[in-house]
Chains A and B, each alone.
Chain A
């Protein structure tokens, strides 16, 4: 029943809403990130005609809205302005970088006007999607072009640009998981406390970088406040892939109770500046740590500190 507009109270409190023109890649993105579907398996996806919902850790719901060609025409028929309300609401607007960008921007403005009129602080994440196969330079150009056009028009219309984020994505690389992570982090309960805990773990244990990662989707829910470089995150994803593949073969272990944690601890040694230590803190969450080899090799110390951090995080998050 596409004609019936959803009301806010039909939607979950902490939510991400995916919107954009038809065929821009909304459903594909959700399937690849949340359902671990292979990117090339999305080639046969049919148009989404019904809003669908996907629940994810920790208590966040992702909504996939049917793509609409003309938001200005139909927003009051299909969408209700109050769906944008709430302080834990975030919007992802997917733009297909390989097709008509101007009509995507027009649609984005229709959505944005309504959204900001009811919720001035709503984060609007523009995913500039399908950038696979483009050169680094061309990607930057496209992002620059879209960003300029949008921001210029916004100031012209007196819209608030403070909560706009532009992210380059493709379902064929980890870029989509990275972009998804940035959207999710804003909604994660107790995010700043999580960050503080991880910061202290990082400095007390002399680690370079610690990510709190959801093992099955590889989304990172929080990290220490040092910058997160894309290649490093991509490398973390690939490391999880191989660990996942190997441990699936060796049989999984069901914990008896919460004290039975940690489930899994992993050391990866590399012949470079950094080694890797992975410490599972719940069936789905894991602390992914990069650090100097002489630190990572002190396993018992890391495990001791890890267990304290795990306890603190388990108290904060509904696991």
Chain B
């Protein structure tokens, strides 16, 4: 949900339809609601409703159609256009959406994406802008406690936000994460990351030492591979896997379960890559039970 031109269809096309950021320039305004379904992490069928943001449609959503629009909602993603000329009207729309959500889908999760952050160059200013929205939104969101993220289709922030959303959507994510940590420890890997197969979103990551997981690094790898995968498909030789070995590290990107890819990085030169590969193969069926 969000006003016309905010970037809803653009982000949907990037995440779920292999668009590149510049491809979105040819998108027209969305007519009414565009429904799409994606099979996500195996059993999870995501129904995505992209609600065209022009006035005539918004009026309908909030009046005649409110029950069908706001009923049975699992997640509401509201896209704020950083460049809007009328902030108040955007907030009013948000308020009205939440009012309806509270009535028809009280348990829904809410995410607010402050979009087109690439328009702000200074990183301190970026952070300040997201903070401002966060404050304003927390005040007006009542029971929903939205997750607020700054995003742009021109960098990894969009993927970062969507990874968070997906993480919350997959029901047994905590279990998967625990098993992934175990796997990381047992194989002496430095880093292990799980990607969703269709979107290549980072769904789960863990590292051997106590360091913070390097999310930004995984986002870049995920985008790089996703982009490369498109190139391979154009060449009619679909991408399967990459294995990089140096004296300092060994890196695998491998198809894992039916719905995931796995990234494994080992930093200990004593560990034979063939052993790591065998470990990945051995873990596959176990994780298939959890993730598919």
Give Cα A246–Cα B236 distance, bound, in whole angstroms. 23
Q: Is the CB of B237 within 8 A of A272?
A: yes
Chain B residues near A (Cβ < 8 Å): 217, 220-221, 224-225, 227-228, 231-232, 235-249, 251, 265
Chain A residues near B (Cβ < 8 Å): 231, 235, 238-239, 241-243, 245-247, 249-251, 253, 255, 260, 263-274
Q: Which of A231, A243, A273, A274 interacts with B244 by CB under 8 Å? A: A243
Chain A interface helix/strand/loop/mixed: mixed
Q: Which of A245, A251, A272, A274 interacts with B238 by CB under 8 Å? A: A272
In the complex, which residues of chain A have a beta carbon less than 8 angstroms from the beta carbon of B237? 270-274
Q: Which of B220, B235, B243 interacts with A231 by CB under 8 Å? A: B235
25 sampled A-B residue pairs with Cβ under 8 A: A231-B235, A235-B231, A238-B228, A239-B228, A243-B242, A243-B244, A245-B224, A246-B224, A246-B242, A246-B244, A247-B244, A249-B220, A250-B251, A251-B249, A253-B248, A263-B247, A264-B245, A264-B246, A265-B244, A266-B242, A266-B245, A268-B242, A269-B241, A270-B232, A270-B237
Q: Is the CB of A238 within 8 A of B245?
A: no
Distance to closest chain A CB from B237 (angstroms): 3
Q: Which 8 A-B pairs have the closest CB atoms?
A: A272-B237, A270-B237, A253-B248, A269-B240, A242-B228, A271-B238, A269-B241, A267-B243
Q: Is the CB of A251 within 8 A of B248?
A: yes
Chain B interface helix/strand/loop/mixed: mixed
Distance to closest chain B CB from A269 (angstroms): 4
Give Cα A247–Cα B249 distance, bound, in whole angstroms. 10
The total of interchain contacts (Cβ-Cβ below 8 angstroms) comes to 77
Q: Is the CB of A242 within 8 A of B251?
A: no
In the complex, which residues of chain B have a beta carbon less than 8 angstroms from the beta carbon of A249? 217, 220-221
Knowing A245-B224, A263-B247, A264-B246, say if A238 contacts B241 (CB, 8 Å): no
Give Cα A247–Cα B221 distance, bound, in whole angstroms. 9
Q: Which residue of A lies closest to B244 (CB)?
A: A266
Distance to closest chain A CB from B267 (angstroms): 9
Q: Which residue of B lies closest to A242 (CB)?
A: B228
Knowing A231-B235, A242-B227, A249-B220, say if A260 contacts B243 (CB, 8 Å): no
Give Cα A181–Cα B247 distance, bound, in whole angstroms. 30
Q: Which residue of B lies closest to A274 (CB)?
A: B237
Distance to closest chain B CB from A301 (angstroms): 14
Distance to closest chain A CB from B139 (angstroms): 39
Give Cα A15–Cα B214 distance, bound, in whole angstroms. 45
In the complex, which residues of chain A have a beta carbon less than 8 angstroms from the beta carbon of B220? 245, 249
In the complex, which residues of chain B have a beta carbon less than 8 angstroms from the beta carbon of A268? 239, 241-243
Knowing A238-B231, A242-B227, say if A271 contacts B221 (CB, 8 Å): no
In the complex, which residues of chain A have a beta carbon less than 8 angstroms from the beta carbon of B245? 264-266
Give Cα A264–Cα B273 distance, bound, in whole angstroms. 13
Distance to closest chain B CB from A95 (angstroms): 28
Q: Which residue of B lies closest to A267 (CB)?
A: B243
In the complex, which residues of chain A have a beta carbon less than 8 angstroms from the beta carbon of B248? 250-251, 253
Q: Which of B224, B239, B243, B265 interacts with A266 by CB under 8 Å? A: B243
Q: Is the CB of B238 within 8 A of A242?
A: no
